Structure 1
Amino acid sequence: MDIYDQEHMTKLPFKFDIEELKKALKDIEKYASFDNPTGQIGLTHTANEYEGKDKRYEACGSFASKSFPTENDFTEFNEDLKDTYFYEVYKTLSTMYNLGRVRLLQIQPKRCLSWHIDQQERIHVPIISNSGNMLAILNKCYFLPADGSSYIVNLILTHSAFNGGFEPRYNFLCSITGYKKNAVTNLEKEFDDEELLASARKLYKWSYTNCNFPLKDQILEKKKSE
């Protein structure tokens, strides 16, 4: 059995050219910088125009407590980046999902993200990784090698990511706003430990109502109706 075909993560049928991903990463750093408070670069942006908008970074950071923009507002892939391999990855993944925010994430060595939840499943495509990079979901840790593989991950559960290695980790990350007919999802899987899940929910400082959290049954109902 594939070690990723478990309750929180599934490997997708898409495999990308890892050398092209690395080249695109190098090229994009001429256009934007990871040297910002989020350590991220946005590839999608909203259609709205407003003072101070920077489409390179509009998708960056946490949106858990924001009323606008929402994931659904990120409908535009940056025109300046459509000649990069990242646009090919975006178009391929869009055959299975409706995508919202699409970002490149950097985690510096010996750094860890806070324990949190997201409002939807997300797609991960590791670009540069090392054996010290782990994605922790509830009580399980996953290592995602940077070999061009893509994964859908259930991040509506409490999770974190850390880089215990000695070089920066880079990841292509997509938020999912809708499922197409052939979509792969982890949301139909049963959780092994409902008590652990309930405890994890209590750790999060926002309630599901305040965060507009899409409950599991609501997501499944939406998927069935599409």
Structure 2
Amino acid sequence: MDVTPEWVVDGLVAKVRLGLDAEALRMAASELIARHPLIHDSTKQLSLQIRKGSDDPWYESCFRDADIAPETEYDMLNPELEDTYFKEVFAAFPFPVFRARLMALTSRHCYSVHHDETPRFHVAIETSKHAPFVFVDRNEVFRVPADGDGYWLDTRQEHTAMNGASDLRIHLVVGLDQWA
């Protein structure tokens, strides 16, 4: 599969066609969240990938980078997801991924401005025009559409995300070394 980005915006964002069924992904996420609640009051997360020997497979990788094992160790699909649409989703990624999480941003909340050690790859599951991603130093705003495709974001740059809508913003977020 060709992993050349379809387009790039000022070196900050690149779209990669995954061709996922956006509705099937939305349903799979909804069913999973019904079984395993999201945590963290304003930055709700659920781990989809685990590391060998994990004691808390659904939540262990949901903490700050400094408080978890090296993020590249979270590289195995949670066994409970083997017979779900998530297995197809992970098979669609044209490169190795790690520390995959469902990340939800509650209504009228914003993440603190920060930067990550590696770029992140986002697949929007639930979003709206009121849930932008902002590259702070560059004064660039981007909205990740829930279109079944993936978006490489250079989160090594200072950024934040906000949700001014009345519903949850939910993204599948993975770490990757591709295009690092």
Quick one: distance in 1 between partners of 2:121 and 2:39? Answer: 23
1:16 to 2:14 alignment:
no
Contact preservation (8 Å) 1:124, 1:174: yes
Q: Structure 1 length as normaliser, TM-score?
A: 0.71
Deviation, 1:61, is 2.4
| Partner of residue 83, structure 1 | 83
| Partner of residue 50, structure 2 | 45
Structure-to-structure mapping, 1:145-160, within 5 angstroms: 145-160=145-160
Structure-to-structure mapping, 1:45-194, within 5 angstroms: 45-49=50-54, 53-63=55-65, 65-66=66-67, 68-93=68-93, 96-138=94-136, 139-176=139-176, 178-179=177-178, 185=179
Q: Return the letter of the residue paired with 1:147.
A: D
Contact preservation (8 Å) 1:40, 1:60: yes
Judged with a 3 Å threshold, the aligned counterparts in structure 2 of structure 1 residues 4 and 115 are, in CA distance, closer, same or farther, namely farther
RMSD: 1.9
Quick one: distance in 2 between partners of 1:72 and 1:144? Answer: 24
Q: Structure 2 length as normaliser, TM-score?
A: 0.88
SS of the equivalent of 2:52 reads coil
SS of the equivalent of 2:29 reads helix
SS of the equivalent of 1:5 reads strand
Q: Unaligned regions of 5+ residues in structure 2, if any? A: none
Contact preservation (8 Å) 1:43, 1:59: no
Quick one: distance in 2 between partners of 1:61 and 1:113? Answer: 14
Q: Return the letter of the residue paired with 1:10.
A: A
1:29 to 2:33 alignment:
yes
Quick one: distance in 2 between partners of 1:108 and 1:145? Answer: 17
Deviation, 1:35, is 4.1
1:19-38 CA-partner distances (Å, limit 9, x unpaired)? 10111011102321014444
Deviation, 1:13, is 2.2
Contact preservation (8 Å) 2:16, 2:150: yes
Deviation, 1:98, is 2.0
1:98-120 CA-partner distances (Å, limit 9, x unpaired)? 21100001111100000000010
Q: Unaligned regions of 5+ residues in structure 1, if any? A: 180-184, 186-218, 220-226
Q: Return the letter of the residue paired with 1:108.
A: T
Contact preservation (8 Å) 1:106, 1:171: yes
Greater Rg over alpha carbons, structure? 1
| Partner of residue 192, structure 1 | none
| Partner of residue 5, structure 1 | 8
| Partner of residue 195, structure 1 | none
